[in-house]
Amino acid sequence: MNYIIRPAAKDDIIRQYRYYLVDQDVPELANRFLRAVEETIEKLIAMPKMGSPKDFGNAALRELRSWPVQGFEDVRIYYLAEVERLRVIRILHGKRNLSRIFKRDWADD
């Protein structure tokens, strides 16, 4: 199984990385976050159904699942486990307004 990361999820990664790097001024933490995202995605590829199902009222995302980034449990990977691939939709901190984010329409890129 392979995976794709939507542009919005890539932006989420960059935003969180910059937060650790610039706002918190902890480059080691920023780099550890990037590695943790990669490692967590690899685990999800191996066991895509291990994430818990989420329902945010968006029919296009009715199979959405989430799993915490290893070592950064407040940040979760939201993904769709498809037959041939894992589609990473967003990577968001739990303090965000998730219902609002996922109820919006999203383009399939």
What's the average pLDDT block by block, 10 residues per block, for the chain (109 residues)? 93 96 96 98 95 82 92 96 93 85 61
Tens-place pLDDT, residues 7-21: 999 999 999 999 999
The label of the residue with tokens 């920023």 reads 30
The count of domains in the chain is 1
Q: In the beta sheet, which residues pair with residue 67?
A: 77
Residue 86: predicted pLDDT? 96
Distance CA 93, CA 1 (A): 26
- What is the crossing angle of helices 7-18 and 27-46, to 10°? 150
Q: Establish if 91 belongs to a structural domain.
A: yes
Residue 105: predicted pLDDT? 52
Q: Establish if 69 belongs to a structural domain.
A: yes
Q: Establish if 109 belongs to a structural domain.
A: no
Spatial contact of 75 and 68, defined as CB atoms under 8 Å apart = yes
Give the domain extent around 33. 2-103
Domain of 24, CATH number, reads 3.30.2310.20
Closest CA to 36 of 66, 70, 9: 70
